[in-house]
Structure 1
């Protein structure tokens, strides 16, 4: 059943479909842009945080340990490189990475404090194999490994999740309204115009039913999207408290220096 002349209905149909496309595009584009900007900002923030920590670490250790640090700085450069690589691409076992770092540091410190002796690789591997029992660095390696792993995993997951959200929204933008949807939207919006009732608005129930029909495909992801948002909010809460990467990365120079002092005191 038409609400106007065929010519008028055709014109209104074309206009209303363009209007509906615009409404949906603007709404979804805004959401896409929010995810895009937030993901980029957080990514830039965490990347810069690592760079700053690495720079501060170098300055602090150079000032504190001087030539000794310069001669062995590659150990710490490798450690930061692995942290940066994990954040950028994943695929690195952070626990194993930090274990290797502290083993190498133990071997190097053992040599530095016993320069009157020469140790072969077999001997150095032997002493590092007993690190867990001897705890030359105290509890620092264990605590730092736990803190680094949970904060880096949570941070990387959060940023990746924002980019995934952006991509999902982008795919939703590609779903176009059906012809039936356009017809229903036209009837709801413009039928009253043909009777001269240009200020008459559709009732809420009618409007909701039309959009429920129009957005049927998009609504199929409602449950998954709600779960996704809930998971993001939970992750944000963790990142603000126990998984806060700033509280781990900022003082990493102090914590590793503490480990070295523990070794010197033992």
Structure 2
């Protein structure tokens, strides 16, 4: 009799196990997809209960859902941060490379003009371009105090110093003292007399102003791209903290139905209410600051530093031409300040001279970044509502939401979800969220991030306004006369879009040209170039050669 009872108990136990195993089979695919392997049904889960999840399995499901939520909500943030950093690196590399090409090009100009004495221009030229690259470096501390401190170099001062150091070499060339060199004392006097003589006219001031405005604006853009990426990285950490705090709700929404053996997904509005209240509300206060930051970046995406670097060698050529054309005026002023030239013998300069067209082979071939920056600006503009919609992405995940609100998991059973849907993730809407008890979760770091983004926008707008205010004056200057109407972006004529090193025109034979209407060399009135079409660097060099021949 006892054996019969034991057999009946075994049969009954098997039937119960089969009955329990059948509904759990519906959840097997879900568990397998999330690598949930624990099988400890003897200890019921504390949140879901149900015959399909013991304590160990419930914890694994909870961790898997939290990971899915973090990945889903942070993905667009990671992509946007990557966009900012990649654009920063690309633009920084482009402008830095362009500065090296421009430096080499200007050095070639000096080699043609000053021949053996060109070595004396190497250090002043290096100092100018080193300061330019220091401006473009835009690395290091991104604190509010550092960003408000301004650029590390004043390029207006740098440019003035460059032309001041260049003056003795240029004046030596004007006087045709190939076999002589100034004494050290006379060179010091020439540099001290630079302000009084003004040998290069107003070209140094114009160049210094344009370099400062364009390169400092580029630096601001590079810095603010880094600031934006850093702020986004911080929001990822906020979301990670929020998902930990919400992990019980996430488990109840997307895991409990499986633990109870149901093959059902959460109702869509149930997911949206939960995501907006538990996750989206954390970052909702960043909606406005982020949109403002994006607008600020858009205003600086036309980088004038590219044009400024391409034109630098041409501006230097223009300054040298001014000094040659007004040599008589400069000589009179120098004699008043320093007396007649004090010279001594110097080693014979090198007779080597670059062949015609060598500057053309040093063209700045890197294409302007306008197209890439326009694409970047368009992509970034699409993220203005980044934080407003970040939580809703969670409900695009198959495990977290069904396509409807009927016959789905409503948090308690397979039924309809009839609770009202909150319209957004804003904090003001969460008081009406049926899935959030009490106040919506908040993080003190969000206010700091909002302030940081607002400061970034203010800096970006300040540089863009400075550029806008200077645009009219820029176009009324001699650049406007050289470039025509000023509509659209203009580049020096020697920019080789095809990458060809050939000169192309075929009419530069290096012969001197005569100028019938040119005033005599002893004229006391400075002559100002302007109104003529923009010259290429090679044409400028030939004009300088012609003036030298004319004035000897």
69-78 vs 182-191, greater mean Cα deviation: 182-191
* Contact in 1 for aligned 2:199/2:323 (Cα 8 Å): yes
The residue matched to 1:215 in structure 2 has which SS? helix
Quote the residue 2:236 is aligned against: 173
Quote the residue 1:46 is aligned against: 95
Pairing partner for 2:81 from 32, 37, 44 = 32
* Residue correspondence of structure 1 range 1-266 to structure 2 within 5 A: 5=50, 8=53, 10=58, 12-88=61-137, 90-114=151-175, 115=177, 120=186, 123-131=189-197, 135-175=198-238, 176=240, 177-190=242-255, 196=262, 198=264, 201-203=267-269, 207=272, 210-237=275-302, 239=303, 244-266=304-326
In structure 1, list runs of 5 or more residues that go unmatched: none
Distance 2:196 2:82 in 1: 53
Q: CA deviation at 1:91?
A: 1.0
Distance 1:213 1:167 in 2: 24
Q: TM-score, normalised by structure 1?
A: 0.81
Deviations 1:235-258 (A, max 9, x none): 114x2xxxx112111121121011
RMSD (CA atoms): 3.1
Deviations 1:171-191 (A, max 9, x none): 222222244422333344456
Name which one, 1 or 2, has greater alpha-carbon Rg.
Answer: 2
Q: TM-score, normalised by structure 2?
A: 0.42
Q: How many residues align?
A: 257
The residue matched to 1:96 in structure 2 has which SS? helix
* Contact in 1 for aligned 2:254/2:265 (Cα 8 Å): no
Deviations 1:20-74 (A, max 9, x none): 1222343333233222222221221111111111122222332344223234332
* Contact in 2 for aligned 1:181/1:210 (Cα 8 Å): no
Q: Which has the higher helix share?
A: 1
Which structure carries more relative contact order (alpha carbon 8 Å, separation 6+)?
Answer: 1
* Contact in 2 for aligned 1:95/1:145 (Cα 8 Å): yes
In structure 2, list runs of 5 or more residues that go unmatched: 1-46, 139-150, 327-552
171-180 vs 248-257, greater mean Cα deviation: 171-180
Distance 2:288 2:123 in 1: 49
